[in-house]
Chains A and B, each alone.
Chain A
Amino acid sequence: MTQVIDRRVNGKRKSAVNRQRFLKRFKLQIKKAVSESIDKRSITNVGNGKKISIPPKDISEPAFHHGQGGQRENILPGNTDFIAGDRINRPPKSGSGSGSEASNEGEGNEDFMFELSRDEFIEFFFEDLALPDLVKTQLTAATDFKSIRAGHTSDGVPTNINIIRSLKGALARRIALRAPHKKHLRDAEEELKKAIEAQNEAAASSLRREIELLKKKIASIPFIDSFDLRYNNRTLVPKPTSQAVMFCLMDVSGSMDEERKNIAKRFFTLLYLFLTKNYEHIDLVFIRHHTTAKEVDEDEFFHSRETGGTVVSSALDMMHKIILDRYPTNEWNIYGAQASDGDNWHDDSAVCKDILGNKIMPLVQYYAYVEITAERHQLLWKEYETIAEIQSNFAMQDIKGLEDIYPVFRRLFKKQMA
């Protein structure tokens, strides 16, 4: 006897555990692939799932097989023009699938490719990293309220009257209150008809009076009563701040070459990715500067070249202005990331310290500064160091080459011990 069972309902994602095991097992390789992949993408694009490839050597499942070589005889189908004894040249390597068919499947030389979901990708990226004080900020940031619908009430201000509800109520009330009068009216009208037929004038005139009275009663039932009114109700719910703005500040003076910009891009990308994990909505503001600062789009930010001297404070000033104009701190979590080669107009560094320390730091959740230089630190670094001493949400690092970026990032946002 056959049984038919519908299994679609249960046992979904049975292999999820195995998939997790696979990812766990090849964590190192996957991480490497993940960090290699970021510089090929635009900042906002990095988080969208990622094809990962791992060298086949690392994940092969070895077993004893025969390798190439030796002597073997194969049967093939579809002979067209060979006869026994023919000698033929060996086919080129790539087309040699005929020989060792099924025996060594999965042993190809190509990389093993698969796709990580967005979450998995970011998880790999940010494993055991966390922005300091992030949790705290999120918990206390609920200063904003939003009002949401919460049913209806019988009391409220006229602007909130819900017309449909109110009229529905009125209609019901009218029908209910009229019903008994209408019944009497019908009865009375019938009796009146009989009385007229019987030519009983006295009875007829008293019935006519009654009918008139009943009609008046029906007419006096109000179309709408204050009793019918319904008001939309709204309640206030605390709204967690779920949006952040990230300021990318970069020095584009002549001394920042392509390689340095590339490093900076990585740094910004990493920060962006981290924020996407924690916030629903993120604005990016790109400010580039040499002697003057300018707000630009991403493409221009990374790709156009300028020359000239460097006045860092111009960018900081602009950032401060933009925050005041567009990003009120009660609605936005503000993050700043600044990349520079450390060059600055000599007199300007003290100004930078002043703007950053006194104006910007009180407004931002976190500010990170990276200096991309192989040389000695200049005055800007020293000034910033004094800020780092006072402010716990300020971090600074120097980076020497492309290979430094990832470890540096980890150090920057390392989970702080409580």
Chain B
Amino acid sequence: MSNQYISTSSDWTFEQIMRYDKEISRIASAYGLDTYPNQIEIISAEQMMDAYSSQGMPLGYHHWSFGKHFVSTEQNYRRGQMGLAYEIVINSNPCIAYLMEENTMMMQALVIAHAAYGHNSFFKNNYLFKTWTNADAIIDYLLFAKNFIKECETRYGETEVELLLDSCHALMNHGVDRYCRPSRLSADEERLRQSEREEHLQLQVNDLWRTIPQKENKDTVANEPNYPSEPQENILYFIEKNAPLLKPWQREVVRITRKVAQYFYPQRQTQVMNEGWATFWHYTILNTLYDEGLVNDGFMVEFLRSHTSVVAQPSYNSPYYSGINPYTLGFSMMSDIKRICENPTDEDRHWFPEIAGSDWKKTMDFAMRHFKDESFILQYLSPKLIREMKLFSILDDDTRLKLEVTAIHNDDGYLQIRRSLADQYNLSKREPNIQIHNVDRNGDRSLTLRHTVHNRQPLDKSLTDVMKHLTRLWGFTVRLETIDEKNKVEVAHECIVEN
């Protein structure tokens, strides 16, 4: 028996990594995981910090903010305040997974199962990733972006480019399409059509403004249709297409940051699912390895220790509490789906009639493909799990003196807890709803944004800085209006540009 073990010590070798990968791959496909081909890269701790600070992009353009993140990551790591992630995985085809050289053999196997098969299959099959990102082209596109920005730096000066990027970064979270479907990004086309697009864009912009000098009487002005005809949620897109004073290269830079933001948008919407899925599979696959006698007891003990600390969820009143751990929530939900399929209770049959007793592999595969965090929780969070995690809901209203417990894990509370938890992962509620409302085409060219206030939640103070950045991009006066639940509109902030 014992000579079957793939490894018996904690030091890893390339042969053993290959061997583990082969076995894990076999098990994964037996469970029906559909993945991109893998590219496993061994990196050092320092390279891991590099990858960290550039948002996990394998090649990013240069910017001070990445340096800032690097500096603070390095600092924390050196002081031992944090361990580095064991792995980073990139949504590309082939799927790139970084393994840190410090990892033990067990860790490497875990990471291969987690990233190279778990995350990988999620990237390939989840509808958000399929719709919004193009795994084949991302590496090429990032390379194109890096080179383009480098070229701009040589041509127009580092400072100029840096300031522009600052402004774009400030608006990145509002540089994504949330509702309409994107056009695919392809690097080759991108390069070919870029110059064409520059001219074309400039032409369009000029067209938009051609009517300005004409002085007309007020009646006709009042009858002018509002521009844009519908509110625009993607602020960076609007800037790229319509900002009057931007030069073609600046538009291209805006476009690049917008595309990068869009690329990461699905990841921000599927954190719980993605981690839950990957954690579920590393757990299942490594257990299968053990059942097959390919790893020894020592391996399993080390694995379980690491796994349990990954999915630990401190209570709200623990000093270690820092929000709900997405690994815990995701892993518990995935495991719970399997349980409901295999051993449903009466409660499960009542709550989940359509999946109770079904084939767990098919059910989980369906869940993985067609949901994001918000809808996944809304669909699959079971009363049993709410009880296990002892979830409760707190209403924080600044007009009241005290906090109120609105629901706990009982029959009356399940639905409400499920709904609020789902809302907590709804990006469009977590981020303020700010859209482009109007451009004064016949007057001072000022741009008006509207913030639709939700539950009286105000904007953070950094709003003033963001507005300055927006003004820099737009080139004319920019103002932000808020519209509250009673449809009362107020000007919240204004950055005036004197002409």
A78 and B398 contacting across the interface, CB-CB below 8 Å? no
Stretch from B59-67, B210-218, B297-305, B361-369 that touches the partner: B59-67
Residue A83 at the chain B interface, CB threshold 8 Å = yes
Interface of B is mostly: mixed
Q: How far is the CB of A97 from chain B (nearest CB, A)?
A: 6
Question: Could you say which residues of chain B place their CB within 8 Å of the CB of A64?
Answer: 171, 173-174, 431-432, 434, 459-460, 462-463, 466
Question: Could you say which residues of chain A place their CB within 8 Å of the CB of B158?
Answer: 21
A75 and B420 contacting across the interface, CB-CB below 8 Å? yes
Question: Could you say which residues of chain A place their CB within 8 Å of the CB of B315?
Answer: 77-78, 80
B317 and A78 contacting across the interface, CB-CB below 8 Å? yes
- Which of A6, A22, A62, A99 counts the most chain B CB atoms within 10 A? A62
Contacts across chains A and B counted by CB atoms under 8 Å: 269
Q: How far is the CB of B310 from chain A (nearest CB, A)?
A: 16
Question: Could you say which residues of chain A place their CB within 8 Å of the CB of B404?
Answer: 85-88
Q: How far is the CB of B356 from chain A (nearest CB, A)?
A: 25
A15 and B431 contacting across the interface, CB-CB below 8 Å? no
Within 8 Å by CB of B390, from A59, A68, A77, lies A77
Q: How far is the CB of B457 from chain A (nearest CB, A)?
A: 3
Question: Could you say which residues of chain B place their CB within 8 Å of the CB of A90?
Answer: 396, 402-403
A64 to B424, CA, bound (A): 17
A7 to B50, CA, bound (A): 13
Q: A8-B43, A14-B47 are in contact. Are A79 and B391 (CB under 8 A)?
A: yes
Q: Type the 1/0 row for B450-467, where 1 means its CB is closer than 8 Å to any CB of A.
A: 000111111111110110
A80 and B322 contacting across the interface, CB-CB below 8 Å? no
* Chain B interface residue number, banded: 35 or more
Stretch from A111-119, A208-216, A267-275 that touches the partner: A111-119
Question: Could you say which residues of chain A place their CB within 8 Å of the CB of B40?
Answer: 2-5
Question: Could you say which residues of chain A place their CB within 8 Å of the CB of B443?
Answer: none
Residue A93 at the chain B interface, CB threshold 8 Å = no
A4 and B458 contacting across the interface, CB-CB below 8 Å? no
Within 8 Å by CB of A5, from B42, B317, B465, lies B42
A84 and B412 contacting across the interface, CB-CB below 8 Å? yes
A67 to B451, CA, bound (A): 13
Residue A13 at the chain B interface, CB threshold 8 Å = yes
Q: Type the 1/0 row for B319-339, where 1 means its CB is closer than 8 Å to any CB of A.
A: 001111000000000000000
Within 8 Å by CB of A65, from B162, B397, B412, B460, lies B460
A64 to B170, CA, bound (A): 8
Residue B29 at the chain A interface, CB threshold 8 Å = no
Residue B413 at the chain A interface, CB threshold 8 Å = yes
Within 8 Å by CB of A19, from B70, B321, B460, lies B70
A77 to B14, CA, bound (A): 42
A17 to B153, CA, bound (A): 13
Q: How far is the CB of A115 from chain B (nearest CB, A)?
A: 6
A73 and B394 contacting across the interface, CB-CB below 8 Å? yes
Residue A20 at the chain B interface, CB threshold 8 Å = yes
Question: Could you say which residues of chain B place their CB within 8 Å of the CB of A330?
Answer: none
A5 and B406 contacting across the interface, CB-CB below 8 Å? no
Question: Could you say which residues of chain A place their CB within 8 Å of the CB of B53?
Answer: 15, 18
- The chain B residue with its CB closest to the CB of A54 is B68
Question: Could you say which residues of chain A place their CB within 8 Å of the CB of B131?
Answer: none
A60 to B63, CA, bound (A): 14
Residue A374 at the chain B interface, CB threshold 8 Å = no
B39 and A75 contacting across the interface, CB-CB below 8 Å? no
B170 and A63 contacting across the interface, CB-CB below 8 Å? yes
A128 to B50, CA, bound (A): 31
Question: Could you say which residues of chain B place their CB within 8 Å of the CB of A102?
Answer: 323
Within 8 Å by CB of A79, from B39, B62, B65, B392, lies B392
Q: A1-B37, A82-B405, A114-B71 are in contact. Are A65 and B465 (CB under 8 A)?
A: no
Q: A78-B316, A79-B392, A115-B75 are in contact. Are A4 and B405 (CB under 8 A)?
A: no
Q: A18-B64, A88-B405, A102-B323 are in contact. Are A76 and B394 (CB under 8 A)?
A: yes
A74 and B394 contacting across the interface, CB-CB below 8 Å? yes
- The chain B residue with its CB closest to the CB of A17 is B62
- The chain A residue with its CB closest to the CB of B407 is A84
Within 8 Å by CB of A97, from B94, B322, B397, B406, lies B322
- The chain A residue with its CB closest to the CB of B166 is A61
B47 and A75 contacting across the interface, CB-CB below 8 Å? no
B455 and A2 contacting across the interface, CB-CB below 8 Å? no
- The chain B residue with its CB closest to the CB of A113 is B75
Q: Type the 1/0 row for B399-430, where 1 means its CB is closer than 8 Å to any CB of A.
A: 10011111111101100010011011000001
Q: How far is the CB of A18 from chain B (nearest CB, A)?
A: 3
B172 and A15 contacting across the interface, CB-CB below 8 Å? no
Kindly list 9 other residue pairs between chains A and B, CB separation below 8 angstroms, not including A17-B67, A21-B162, A84-B406: A7-B43, A18-B53, A18-B64, A18-B66, A63-B171, A71-B395, A85-B404, A89-B402, A112-B72
Q: Which residues of A come within 8 Å of B, CB atoms?
A: 1-8, 11-15, 17-26, 59-80, 82-90, 97-99, 101-104, 107, 112-115
Q: List 14 A-B contacts (CB under 8 A).
A: A2-B38, A2-B116, A3-B94, A4-B41, A5-B40, A8-B101, A17-B67, A18-B53, A21-B62, A72-B457, A74-B424, A79-B391, A85-B405, A87-B405
Q: Which residues of B come within 8 Å of A, CB atoms?
A: 14, 17-18, 21-22, 25, 37-44, 46-47, 49-50, 53-54, 62-68, 70-72, 74-75, 78, 94, 98, 101, 116, 158, 162, 166, 169-174, 313-318, 321-324, 389-399, 402-410, 412-413, 417, 420-421, 423-424, 430-432, 434, 453-463, 465-466, 469
